[in-house]
């Protein structure tokens, strides 16, 4: 299953399906396809049919085993849960029955029995599956599998491949230095793209940055959460039975959904969207897209400037800011980043060197700004790139030496060590404290990405090698600042949930979700950290973190709300667990 295909991705090699997708989807849609895998599909309109399940970063598509048409099965914005069911399907036999993975996806769809209060033609929240048509039987062959699998009918395909759209380029928050171009990109109007056009921002956000869907998607998310629309929705289930012993479809579904709810929640923040520089006009956004060749050329120029010797601190920051902005606006940059043999080692080295205090001629605030930006870039490069074979090779090279260096440099003392140059100035101290908090937020987000990566790798031993969460914590255990760093993350969760009952902002909700995931990993995979968290924070969690108040803190219309509430409940039960 996990062989490397011709385009360098960890997905099955199926030239016929790949050619079909290239012919029948736009380039934008095709480039956002993450993985595909044949599964037995069962739903309200598809009955035990072996077909291809195709995942993009926003949707799940289905196509026949011998592809003739493509349709959208569901959008990630409609998913409520993804579960792995431990059972033995009665329609399979032999080894297929024993090794199958049963995945249940619970999602919402529009209830045709109730009238919509939305004006006609709005086009939002269409049913996940089209209505069955005439002559809708679909039979496919599968070598080595019981014929009973192939004896069912499926619905006819009602969606045209060319009508699908996964709108918008992914965007992200701008950085903190005023806009300035590098020598390789002298004029924005000449480049005619938003990819390398830095958008000005006046301050660093304390939240993690993530990829963002189009403004139309965020509008749809907000619209569909009104009470009237909730009454129109009903729950349906999509069941996928993966029969390959090396199947990773469940992991990819979880990862894709997690990535989607993070960036979709962030896009509900108007300030975040503004910092992204996202245009409200789809036509204007489309005009900013450039070709793969042009993107490669500009990326090569920017990489060359970054890797030059004797680059000054200011120039380095501006070049990294340009890379950060470009990646926010064009996900193709992530693929190019991991294909470069030099950029990831360069960023790890820069983080390690900048984390060292007492550098001659470098102010503490400058070091914090640079470290924060590097960590934000690394976090961005991890998200949504699990299918990149070059990423796995880079992270596992030399027994994970680079990954080890990155983690050791990432963890730092949350207690600010004030340099003598501040002279006790309140304004200087406040500025450094704010920058330190920004760094720790970004570090939490990157550690979240590493945890997700290791969880995926550990479930597929042929891919993961030694990279597990336990390996991460064994590596960090001797670190002098590990306990204060983890304690700071736990303290921030308590502070965020123990304040006034005002709802959290979208960025706060995302960061809370990421911190809870990291703390949960600490409790489950590290005896030392588990004991530390329970000893130091059990009473705070007992008295200040209440599951009954989570709905007030996490508004229902946030896509991340329900997953975050489930995560918090699980975290609370583990923290309060009696030894």
| pLDDT tens digits, 283-293 | 555 545 678 88
SS3 assignment for 122-159 = CCCCCCCCCCCCCCCECCCCCCCCCHHHHCCEECCCCC
Q: What is the rounded distance in angstroms from the CA atom of residue 188 to the CA atom of residue 579? A: 60
Which DSSP symbol is given to 36?
A: E
For residues 212 and 266, is the Cβ–Cβ distance under 8 A? yes
SS3 assignment for 40-108 = EEECCCECCEEEEEEEECCEEEEEECCCCCEEEEEEHHHEEEEEEECCCCCCCCHHHHHHCEEEEEEEE
Assigned token pair, 114: 């109730």
Q: What is the rounded distance in angstroms from the CA atom of residue 534 to the CA atom of residue 523? A: 9
Residues 6+ apart with CB under 8 A from 354: 367, 370, 371, 374
pLDDT value at position 114? 56
Residues 6+ apart with CB under 8 A from 507: 205, 206, 207, 208, 266, 269, 272
pLDDT value at position 461? 59
Helix-strand-coil split of the chain, %, nearest 5: 50, 10, 35
Strand order in the sheet with 70-75: 70-75, 59-64, 49-56, 33-42, 233-242, 101-110, 79-85
Buried b (16+ CB within 10 A) or exposed e, 381-401: bbbbbbbbbbbbebbbeeebe
pLDDT value at position 474? 93
Assigned token pair, 316: 């380095």
pLDDT value at position 13? 66
Average pLDDT per block of 10 residues along the chain, 579 residues long: 41 79 87 90 91 93 93 92 90 87 91 50 39 36 37 33 36 35 38 34 39 46 48 85 88 90 89 63 55 89 92 93 88 91 95 76 83 95 84 87 95 79 71 93 96 80 71 94 96 87 90 96 94 93 85 90 92 86
Buried b (16+ CB within 10 A) or exposed e, 556-578: ebbbbbbbbbebbeebbebbeee
List of E strands, 283-348: none
pLDDT value at position 331? 81
What phi and psi, each to the nearest 5 degrees, are found at residue 229?
Answer: -70, -35
Q: What is the rounded distance in angstroms from the CA atom of residue 339 to the CA atom of residue 222? A: 37
Q: What is the rounded distance in angstroms from the CA atom of residue 120 to the CA atom of residue 116? A: 9
- What's the angle, vertex CA 449, arms to CA 447 and CA 450, rounded to 5? 65
Q: What is the rounded distance in angstroms from the CA atom of residue 560 to the CA atom of residue 571? A: 16
Assigned token pair, 148: 């009973």
pLDDT, one tens digit per residue, over 222-274 is 545 444 444 578 899 999 999 888 888 998 899 899 999 998 998 898 876 76
Nearest to 510 by CA among 156, 236, 260: 260
Q: What is the rounded distance in angstroms from the CA atom of residue 88 to the CA atom of residue 444? A: 39
Q: What is the rounded distance in angstroms from the CA atom of residue 53 to the CA atom of residue 134? A: 23
Q: How many CB atoms lie within 10 A of CB 114?
A: 12
pLDDT value at position 357? 62
Assigned token pair, 520: 């949960």
User: For 545-560, where are the alpha helices, taking DSSP H only?
Assistant: 550-553
pLDDT value at position 519? 96
For residues 167 and 214, is the Cβ–Cβ distance under 8 A? yes
SS3 assignment for 472-494 = HHHHHCCCCCHHHHHHHHHHHHH
Q: What is the rounded distance in angstroms from the CA atom of residue 164 to the CA atom of residue 525? A: 42
The H or E element containing residue 238 is: strand 233-242
């Amino acid at each position: 299953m996990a062989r490397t295909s011709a385009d360098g991705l960890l997905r099955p090699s199926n030239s016929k399906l790949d050619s079909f997708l290239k012919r029948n989807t736009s380039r934008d849609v095709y480039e956002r396809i993450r993985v595909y895998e044949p599964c037995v599909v069962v739903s309200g309109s598809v009955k035990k049919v072996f077909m291809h399940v195709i995942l993009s970063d926003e949707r799940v598509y289905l196509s026949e085993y011998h592809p003739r048409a493509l349709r959208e099965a569901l959008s990630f914005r409609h998913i409520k849960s993804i579960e792995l069911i431990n059972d033995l399907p009665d329609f399979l036999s032999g080894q297929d029955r024993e090794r199958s993975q049963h995945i249940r996806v619970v999602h919402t769809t529009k209830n045709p029995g109730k009238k919509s209060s939305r004006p006609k033609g709005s086009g939002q929240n269409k049913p996940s599956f089209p209505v069955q048509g005439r002559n809708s039987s679909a039979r496919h062959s599968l070598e080595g599998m019981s014929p009973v699998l192939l004896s069912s009918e499926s619905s006819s395909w009602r969606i045209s491949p060319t009508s699908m759209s996964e709108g918008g380029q992914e965007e992200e928050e701008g950085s903190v230095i005023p806009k300035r171009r590098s020598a390789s990109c002298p004029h924005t109007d000449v480049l005619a793209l938003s990819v390398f056009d830095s958008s000005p921002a006046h301050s660093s956000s304390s939240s993690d940055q993530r990829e963002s869907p189009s403004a139309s998607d965020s509008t749809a998310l907000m619209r569909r959460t009104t009470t009237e629309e909730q009454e129109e929705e009903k729950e349906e289930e999509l069941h996928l039975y993966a029969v390959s012993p090396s199947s990773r479809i469940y992991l990819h579904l979880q990862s894709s959904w997690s990535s989607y709810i993070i960036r979709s929640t962030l896009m509900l923040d108007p300030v975040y969207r503004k910092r992204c520089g996202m245009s409200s006009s789809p036509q204007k956004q489309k005009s900013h897209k450039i070709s793969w060749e042009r993107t490669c050329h500009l990326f090569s120029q920017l990489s060359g400037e970054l890797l030059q010797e004797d680059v000054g601190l200011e120039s380095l920051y501006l070049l990294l800011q340009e890379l950060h902005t470009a990646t926010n606006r064009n996900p193709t940059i992530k693929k190019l980043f991991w294909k470069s043999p030099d950029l990831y080692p360069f960023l790890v080295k820069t983080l390690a060197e900048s984390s060292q205090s007492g550098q001659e001629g470098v102010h503490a605030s400058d070091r914090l700004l640079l470290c924060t930006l590097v960590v934000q870039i690394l976090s961005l490069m991890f998200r949504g790139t699990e299918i990149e074979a070059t990423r796995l090779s880079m992270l596992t090279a030399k027994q994970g030496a680079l990954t080890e260096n990155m983690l050791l440099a990432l963890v730092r003392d949350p207690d600010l060590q004030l340099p003598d140059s501040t002279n006790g100035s309140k304004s200087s101290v406040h500025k450094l404290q704010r920058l330190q908090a920004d760094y720790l937020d970004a570090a939490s987000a990157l550690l979240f990405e590493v945890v997700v990566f290791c969880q995926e790798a550990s479930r597929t031993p042929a891919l993961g090698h030694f990279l597990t969460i336990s390996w991460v914590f064994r590596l960090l255990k001797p670190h002098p600042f590990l306990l204060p760093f983890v304690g700071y993350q736990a303290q921030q969760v308590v502070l965020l949930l123990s304040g006034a009952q005002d709802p959290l902002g979208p960025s706060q909700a995302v960061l809370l979700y990421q911190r809870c995931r990291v703390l949960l990993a600490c409790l489950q995979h590290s005896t030392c950290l588990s004991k530390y968290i329970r000893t130091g924070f059990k009473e705070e969690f007992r008295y200040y973190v209440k599951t009954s108040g989570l709905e007030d803190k996490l508004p229902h219309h946030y896509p991340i709300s329900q997953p975050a509430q489930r995560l918090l409940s699980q975290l609370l039960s583990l923290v309060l667990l009696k030894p």
